């Protein structure tokens, strides 16, 4: 029974890889309709049940989408859709895994902020400043969390790299940040985070990529250092 299940899993995985290859080679275009389950199974030489499982898996991953009464289609393959499940990892990670994700975020956030310093428009800079001003005008944790997320989201967008922005969105979900804030806010976090955000904004306003990179790395690094010092899983 277990062997049969493993073999079926192997066939399903092969079907997934073959469909991905067809997309990569342009045989299936973004937005295009897949052949019927029967035809695709026959074309790839696998059972319909394995093909059905492969389609279901690729749908969960955001590669395919089912349209009621119309069939199965390749999505537009936008980075945000394909990386949506990445955010689940950040939301559920604990302890050392959470620290590792913060390390990744520190690297990407600092790079995105450096790119933004070179590319940000006046309107985008004004939006970043608006969120900074809102953080400085309140002590409500929910309000600060909202504008913290929006502040970094604007910067990621200004960096001009959609894939990087999508990864950062997953690493910076509201659930992820709220979990960190619950403990971090007890240690003068509001005053500290306002200062750190102000330094990031000043570097962006000066159009100074290296200062922006340094300020963003220091900001995430502060949280990382705090988290490393916690006694148990977060």
Q: What is the pLDDT of residues 126-179, one digit of tens each?
A: 999 999 999 999 988 888 888 988 999 999 999 999 989 988 888 776 666 666
Q: Are 159 and 112 in contact (CB under 8 A)?
A: yes
pLDDT at residue 3 tops 60: no
Helices (H), 29-85: 37-44, 48-60, 79-82
Task: Give residue 73's pLDDT.
Answer: 94
Count of C-beta atoms within a 10 Å radius of residue 68: 5
Cα dihedral 11/13/15/18 (nearest 10): -130
pLDDT score of 186:
59
Tokens of 67: 């349209």
Measure the CA–CA gap between 167 and 108, rounded to whole angstroms: 9
At residue 233, the pLDDT reads 45
Q: 54 is written with which tokens?
A: 């492969």
pLDDT at 1: 44
Q: What six digits make up the tokens of 202?
A: 């000043």
Structural domains in the chain, sorted by start: 2-77 (1.10.10.10), 82-228 (1.20.120.530)
More confident of the two residues 185 and 80 = 80
pLDDT tens digit sequence for 205-230:
999 999 999 999 999 888 777 777 66
Spatial separation of the C-alpha atoms in residues 77 and 111, rounded to whole Å: 24
Determine contact, residues 112/155, Cβ cutoff 8 Å: yes
pLDDT tens-digit series, residues 82-127: 676 666 766 666 667 778 888 888 999 999 999 999 999 999 999 9
């Amino acid at each position: 029974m277990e062997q049969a299940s493993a073999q079926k899993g192997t066939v399903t995985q092969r079907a997934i890889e073959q469909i991905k290859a067809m997309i990569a080679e342009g045989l299936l275009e973004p937005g295009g309709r897949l052949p019927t389950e029967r035809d695709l199974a026959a074309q790839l030489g696998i059972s319909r049940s394995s093909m059905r499982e492969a389609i279901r898996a690729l749908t969960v991953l955001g590669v395919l989408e089912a349209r009621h009464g119309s069939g199965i289609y390749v999505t537009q393959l936008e980075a945000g859709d394909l990386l949506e499940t990445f955010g689940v990892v950040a939301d559920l990670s604990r302890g050392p895994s959470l620290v590792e994700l913060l390390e990744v975020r520190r690297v990407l956030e600092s790079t995105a902020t450096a790119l933004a310093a070179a590319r940000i428009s006046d309107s985008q800079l004004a939006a970043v400043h608006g969120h900074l001003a809102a953080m400085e005008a309140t002590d409500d944790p929910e309000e600060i969390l909202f504008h913290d997320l929006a502040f970094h989201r604007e910067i990621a967008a200004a960096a001009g790299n959609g894939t990087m922005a999508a990864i950062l969105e997953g690493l910076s979900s509201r659930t992820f940040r709220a979990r960190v804030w619950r403990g971090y806010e007890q240690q003068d976090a509001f005053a500290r985070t306002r200062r750190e955000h102000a330094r990031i904004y000043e570097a962006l306003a000066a159009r100074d990529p290296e200062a922006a990179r340094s300020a963003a790395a220091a900001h995430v690094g502060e949280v990382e250092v705090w988290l490393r010092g916690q006694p148990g899983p977060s």
